[in-house]
């Protein structure tokens, strides 16, 4: 169905991050929001993405914010880095989704919802590290990878799943020895993201605990946030709810805190 | 979302949060229709991977469950929950809890007609006295040994005893139980469960096409689990007499187990015995008697007068059958298939050692069966994706092989549907060795194709 060769070819084809984005991220790392905004403004696709992002209801701005330096100012260094990473991940998304019923807008909404709620969680945990804040941006890459690898095999996947409770992540792992989150890690390496980002996302798979307990705790919160988000009607309809296995026991000890932070009714 | 069917139980497994906003989105109209069409005797919604739910979230599933029960009399309910969730559901549906709640799937399987293992020692506790009694009766009917704890204190005391009980049941509630002609396979016997009053309606509820095709696939032992039958009238008598006569053509044995003649005329028994029907008091009289089981269920060459020849309609669709098989094995092994020789003949297996086989029948616009003969090593390889690891447990490989053949059957159904040919598939039958298979199909002509996956060979045979 999916061979190791196909997987390797997919990984090889992941493009390096464009120069303008690398420069923007470098300047954001130095904390120079003004210069970063200037560079970002030159990349029309990025600036358009950022302007649209600000229009998402989840950010709750009443007036249109269209100046990039103003956007970076509102988001701060960590939020701006997160937004740029979100944009980078969205570059990998297909023009037409087949496996999941998504489109560019729905995918951007998903990114925005995850990012805003992840920030709430980190505020609750009193974590202000910008790389940890950006870690959430890598998570949606797993949908893109699943889409790319399984879209031609929808019928096979349906048949397989009609006889066995097996999720896409497990199918990939059993066939190729590498799962969706391993590929996320490869992307993060290619794009020179901080190592901790990939580790948190690996822990968020719910099946690969890391050595560092702090990372595992963040992974738990991210796993629960992922399933909270994927339980929304639009993502259930999109077919995202069961693309990986939800590990309920893994997150039970943080559930009460989570429901009060995210205000689960 | 579709239900996954295992051992006659269809399970839905929603994940995450279940509330009024999303409950309806887990199930489409097509999902509900597909569920109604399933040949299962229990449909459950597993809450194992649900971290939060409220009444509105459950309602969407409850509506679907009640619809399914109304249409096909299956037992329906929820399973896989802890005490907190059990209390919550009981509270939500306090006055209209008309579906069942099973703490685990294992507990549910004890109440399903498709249970595989009998004679389990089961400790039961429920606060509700009538529930305790209802569970004990159902379990007893299903061949288990229920022990009822009459109080919570007794339950706690008894449940501490190690190795005394195979299963301990609490946080479980029996709603309206299903009453359908359920089908299950034990070894190579097909067991139909019938209950209450058997009358002319049996002709509608019994799937005769399925039965005939099971005969054709090679099943030879059919058992009617009739413990719960109250009585039978002359219409049902006629139906079973005809069934027995038609089975005789295949050397099939059809048995009744647990049928009492308190309210059914004893003359009916004699009539059915004359037609070749066998009667036993207990299921164990057959299932635990290996010699008898072998004698009754042994694959035997059918002395069918009208031998069904492979016909043009099937041969025309041969590419679809081969494609479905090749695509499935390729999917499961990631190996590329090469077709070697194809010929019309009776099946020829060169080396019978260390080979296992499986067959699946299809019926509808066209009918016939696909037989696959694998070297054990390839079967293991092909099943690794489903099992997740290497195994030397032959029974597990055979079970998984049945699932694989089910996938092949499903693919055939889809490919034929694309050409507007509608077929249904039977349960797959597995053979631990080639001799068992040959006893059923040695004289059937069909199309034999040798396939090669990397260096491994296996055999595909299409016949009627």
CATH assignment of the domain containing A198: 1.10.3210.10
Contact B334 A1 (CB under 8 A): yes
Quick one: pLDDT band at residue B185, thresholds 50, 70, 90?
Answer: low
pLDDT at residue B402 greater than cutoff 60: yes
Which residue in the set B16, B49, B385 is minimally distant from A174, CB to CB?
B385
* A116 belongs to a structural domain: yes
- What stretches of B91-154 adopt beta strand conformation (E)? 100-102, 121-124, 145-148
pLDDT at residue B172, rounded to an integer: 92
pLDDT in tens, B58-107: 998 999 888 888 887 788 999 999 999 999 999 998 877 889 999 999 89
pLDDT in tens, A163-218: 777 888 888 888 788 888 888 888 888 888 888 888 998 999 888 888 898 999 99
* A217 belongs to a structural domain: yes
Q: Which of B6, B10, B16, B416 to mutate to test the interface with A (most CBs of A within 10 A)?
A: B16
Distance CA B277, CA B212 (A): 17
Interface of A with B (CB under 8 A): 1-3, 153, 155-156, 158-166, 170-171, 174-175, 224, 227-228, 230-233, 236-237, 241-242, 245-246, 248, 251-252, 255, 259, 264-265
Summarize the confidence of residues B210-237 as an average pLDDT: 84
Instruction: List the Cα angle B115/B68/B95 in 5-degree steps.
Output: 95
pLDDT at residue A17, rounded to an integer: 79
Tell me which residue range forms the domain holding A115.
4-17+93-262
* A73 belongs to a structural domain: no
pLDDT at residue B316, rounded to an integer: 84
* A205 belongs to a structural domain: yes
Quick one: pLDDT band at residue B302, thresholds 50, 70, 90?
Answer: very low
Q: Which of B83, B331, B386, B412 to mutate to test the interface with A (most CBs of A within 10 A)?
A: B331
- Calculate how close chain B gets to A196, using CA atoms only, in Å: 26
Contact by Cβ (8 Å): A187, A204: no
Contact by Cβ (8 Å): A204, A139: yes
pLDDT at residue B89, rounded to an integer: 93
Q: How many CA atoms lie within 13 A of A256 on its CB side?
A: 1
* A101 belongs to a structural domain: yes
Q: What pTM does this model have?
A: 0.72
pLDDT at residue B234, rounded to an integer: 92
Residue A62 CB partners (closer than 8 Å, separation 6+): none
* A238 belongs to a structural domain: yes
User: Residue B182: which of B7, B440, B433 has the closest Cα?
Assistant: B7
> Helix, strand or coil for residue B9?
strand
Nearest chain A residue to B48 by CA distance is A248
- Work out the percent of chain B whose per-residue pLDDT is above 90: 16
Contact B331 A231 (CB under 8 A): no
Q: Which range (A203-207, B2-6, B115-119, B314-318) has the least confidence?
A: B115-119
pLDDT at residue A257, rounded to an integer: 93
pLDDT at residue B240 greater than cutoff 90: yes
Q: Which residue has the higher pLDDT, B48 or A142?
A: B48
What is the pairing mode between strands B167-169 and B182-186? unpaired
Q: What are the beta bridge partners of residue B124?
A: B148, B169
Domains, chain B, ranges and CATH? 4-169 (3.30.750.24), 184-282 (3.30.750.24), 312-463 (3.40.1550.10)
Q: What are the beta bridge partners of residue B123?
A: B147, B168
Is B335 in CB contact (< 8 Å) with chain A? no
Q: Which of B12, B22, B60, B418 to mutate to test the interface with A (most CBs of A within 10 A)?
A: B22
Quick one: pLDDT band at residue B177, thresholds 50, 70, 90?
Answer: low
pLDDT in tens, B128-153: 887 887 888 788 777 788 888 888 89
Which range has highest mean pLDDT (B1-5, B200-204, B256-260)? Answer: B256-260
What total of structural domains would you count in chain A? 1
Contact B411 A2 (CB under 8 A): no
Stretches where chain A sits below pLDDT 50 are none
pLDDT at residue B116, rounded to an integer: 55
B-chain residues within 8 Å CB-CB of A175?
334, 385
pLDDT at residue B183, rounded to an integer: 63
pLDDT at residue B184, rounded to an integer: 61
Quick one: pLDDT band at residue B304, thresholds 50, 70, 90?
Answer: very low
Contact by Cβ (8 Å): B453, B329: yes
Which range has highest mean pLDDT (B72-86, B170-184, B341-355, B436-450)? Answer: B72-86
Distance CA B427, CA B409 (A): 9
Quick one: pLDDT band at residue B236, thresholds 50, 70, 90?
Answer: very high
- Calculate how close chain B gets to A171, using CA atoms only, in Å: 7
Contact by Cβ (8 Å): A181, A202: yes
- Calculate how close chain A gets to B295, using CA atoms only, in Å: 32
What is each CA distance from A75 to A70, A84, A116, in whole angstroms?
A: 9, 11, 11
Contact A153 B407 (CB under 8 A): no
The label of the residue with tokens 């209801």 reads A57
Sign of the Cα torsion B126, B127, B130, B133 reads positive
Q: Which residue has the higher pLDDT, B433 or B86?
A: B86
* A226 belongs to a structural domain: yes
* A194 belongs to a structural domain: yes
State chain B's mean pLDDT as an integer: 83
Contact B49 A246 (CB under 8 A): yes
Which residue in the set A158, A241, A265 is minimally distant from B16, CB to CB?
A241
């Amino acid at each position: 169905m999916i061979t190791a060769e196909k997987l390797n070819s997919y990984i090889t084809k992941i493009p390096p991050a464009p120069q303008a984005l690398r420069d923007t991220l470098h300047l954001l790392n130095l904390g120079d929001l003004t210069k970063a905004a200037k560079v970002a403004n030159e990349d029309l696709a990025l600036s358009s993405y950022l302007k649209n992002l600000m229009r998402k209801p989840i950010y709750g701005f009443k007036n249109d914010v269209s100046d990039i330096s103003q956007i970076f100012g509102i988001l701060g260094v960590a939020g701006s880095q997160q937004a740029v990473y979100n944009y980078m991940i969205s570059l990998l998304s297909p023009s037409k989704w087949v496996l999941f019923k998504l489109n560019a807008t729905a995918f951007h909404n998903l990114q925005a919802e995850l990012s805003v709620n992840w920030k709430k969680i980190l505020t609750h945990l009193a974590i202000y590290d910008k790389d940890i804040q950006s870690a959430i941006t890598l998570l949606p890459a797993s949908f893109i990878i699943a889409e790319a690898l399984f879209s031609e095999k929808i019928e096979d996947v349906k048949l397989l799943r009609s006889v066995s409770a097996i999720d896409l992540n497990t199918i990939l792992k059993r066939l190729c020895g590498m799962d969706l989150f391993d590929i996320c890690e490869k992307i993060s390496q290619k794009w020179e993201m901080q190592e901790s980002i990939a580790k948190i996302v690996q822990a968020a798979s719910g099946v690969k605990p890391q050595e560092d307990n702090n990372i595992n705790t963040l992974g738990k919160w991210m796993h629960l946030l992922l399933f909270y988000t994927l339980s929304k009607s639009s993502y259930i309809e999109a077919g995202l709810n069961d693309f990986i296995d939800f590990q309920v026991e893994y997150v039970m000890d943080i559930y009460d805190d989570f429901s009060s932070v995210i205000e689960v009714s | 979302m579709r239900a996954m069917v295992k051992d006659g139980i269809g399970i839905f497994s929603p994940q995450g949060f279940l509330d009024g906003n999303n409950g309806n989105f887990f199930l489409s109209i097509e999902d509900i229709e597909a569920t109604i069409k399933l040949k299962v005797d229990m449909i459950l919604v597993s809450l194992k991977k649900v971290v939060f739910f409220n009444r509105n979230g459950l309602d969407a599933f409850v509506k679907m469950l009640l619809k399914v029960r109304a249409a096909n009399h299956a037992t329906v309910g929820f399973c896989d929950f802890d005490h907190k969730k059990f209390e919550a559901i009981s509270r939500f549906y306090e006055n209209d809890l008309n579906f069942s709640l099973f703490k685990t799937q294992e507990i549910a399987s004890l109440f399903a007609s498709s249970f595989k293992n009998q004679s389990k020692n089961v400790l039961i506790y429920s606060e509700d006295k009538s529930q305790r009694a209802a569970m004990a009766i159902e379990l007893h009917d299903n061949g288990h040994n229920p022990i009822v704890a009459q109080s919570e204190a007794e339950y706690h005391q008894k449940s501490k005893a190690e190795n005394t009980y195979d299963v301990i049941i609490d946080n479980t509630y029996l709603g309206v139980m299903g009453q359908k002609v359920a089908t299950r396979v034990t070894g190579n016997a097909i067991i139909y469960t019938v209950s209450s009053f058997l009358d002319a309606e049996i002709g509608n509820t019994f799937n005769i096409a399925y039965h005939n095709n099971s005969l054709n696939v090679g099943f030879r032992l059919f058992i009617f689990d009739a413990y719960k039958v109250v009585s039978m009238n002359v219409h049902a008598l006629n139906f079973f007499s005809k069934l027995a006569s038609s089975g005789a053509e295949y050397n099939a044995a059809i048995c009744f187990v647990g049928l009492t003649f308190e309210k059914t005329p004893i003359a009916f028994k004699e009539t059915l015995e004359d037609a070749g029907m066998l009667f036993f008091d207990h299921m164990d009289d057959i299932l635990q008697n290996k010699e008898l089981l072998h004698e009754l269920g042994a694959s035997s060459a059918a002395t069918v007068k009208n031998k069904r020849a492979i016909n043009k309609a099937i041969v025309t669709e041969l590419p679809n059958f081969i494609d479905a098989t090749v695509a499935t094995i390729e999917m499961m092994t990631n190996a590329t298939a090469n077709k070697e020789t194809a010929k019309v003949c009776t099946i020829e297996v060169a080396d019978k050692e260390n080979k296992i086989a499986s067959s699946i029948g299809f019926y509808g616009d066209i009918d016939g069966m696909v037989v696959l003969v694998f070297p054990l090593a390839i079967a293991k390889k092909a099943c690794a994706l489903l099992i997740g690891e290497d195994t030397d447990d032959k029974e597990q490989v055979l079970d998984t092989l049945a699932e694989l053949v089910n996938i092949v059957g499903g693919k055939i159904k889809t490919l034929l549907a694309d050409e507007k040919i509608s077929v249904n598939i039977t349960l797959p039958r597995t053979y631990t060795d080639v001799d068992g298979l040959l006893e059923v199909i040695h004289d059937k002509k069909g199309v034999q194709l040798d396939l090669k996956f990397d260096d491994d060979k296996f055999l595909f045979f299409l016949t009627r």
